[in-house]
Amino acid sequence: MYSQTIPLFVRLLTNLSGILDKTAAHCAEKKIDPAVLLGSRLFPDMFPLTRQVQIGCDFAKGAAARLAGVEVPKYEDSEASLDDLKARVAKTIAFVQSLPEAQFAGAETREVTIPIRGQPTTFAGLDYLNRNVLPNFFFHLATAYNILRHNGVPLGKADFTGPVKS
């Protein structure tokens, strides 16, 4: 379970940090107030960029903690700038990397209970990862990427996926 989570979270969150760097450079070059992009959405009923990044980080830290059997760290959701979002991503990477691989022993069958639409829902660890965490993690990171790409930040697929080999 460690090898299916931590390296993936670190890789994609690192890529997200690079995307945020490209966003800052684009804003500076085009003289765009970054706050405009932080509040941008793909559709009116979707969360804005800031919330997409926050939720993506929350899925990574929450899954890593639950599968390792430790307390999920609480973040304030107070990010108001690209630098704040980068700091949240860095804090999330540091947290997931702090968990020793040995703590994931037996995680595929460890019971995980989370609220879904206000109702407690219990999964075995592997189902939690495959049915809840990974789809949501990818969704929110891809949505953040798409918001920025839609708004003209010069991004390509490799910015999201990273190099094929590292």
Q: What are the tens digits of pLDDT across the range 61-104?
A: 999 999 999 999 999 999 999 999 999 999 999 999 999 999 99
- For residue 3, name the pLDDT band (cuts at 50, 70, 90): very high
- Residues 15, 162: contact at Cβ < 8 Å? yes
What is the DSSP-derived secondary structure letter of residue 132? I
CA contacts within 13 A on the Cβ side of 82: 22
User: From the CB of residue 143, how many other CB atoms can be counted at a distance below 10 Å?
Assistant: 21
Burial of 147 by CB count in 10 Å (0-12 exposed, 13-18 middle, 19+ buried)?
buried
Long-range contacts (CB closer than 8 Å, 24 or more residues apart) made by 118-124: none
Please state, in angstroms and rounded to a whole number, the distance separating the CA atoms of residues 52 and 64.
18
CA angle 41, 45, 49 (to 5 degrees): 25
**Phi first, then psi: what are they for 66, rounded to 5°?**
-65, -40
pLDDT digits (tens, 9 = 90+) for 106-135: 999 999 999 999 999 999 999 999 999 999
Q: Which two tokens mark 127?
A: 């189902």
Please state, in angstroms and rounded to a whole number, the distance separating the CA atoms of residues 57 and 95.
11
With tokens 């075995």, the residue in question is 124
Please state, in angstroms and rounded to a whole number, the distance separating the CA atoms of residues 25 and 34.
10
User: Tell me, what's the pLDDT at 163?
Assistant: 85
Residue 158 has pLDDT above 90, yes or no: yes
- Tell which CATH architecture fits domain 2-154: Up-down Bundle (1.20)
User: Tell me, what's the pLDDT at 165?
Assistant: 74
Q: State whether residue 99 is helix, strand or coil.
A: coil
pLDDT digits (tens, 9 = 90+) for 15-67: 999 999 999 999 999 999 999 999 999 999 999 999 999 999 999 999 999 99
Q: Residue 111: which region, alpha, beta or left (left: phi > 0; alpha: psi -120 to 50)?
A: beta
User: Tell me, what's the pLDDT at 166?
Assistant: 58
Distances (CA, A) of 2 to 72, 96, 120: 16, 10, 25
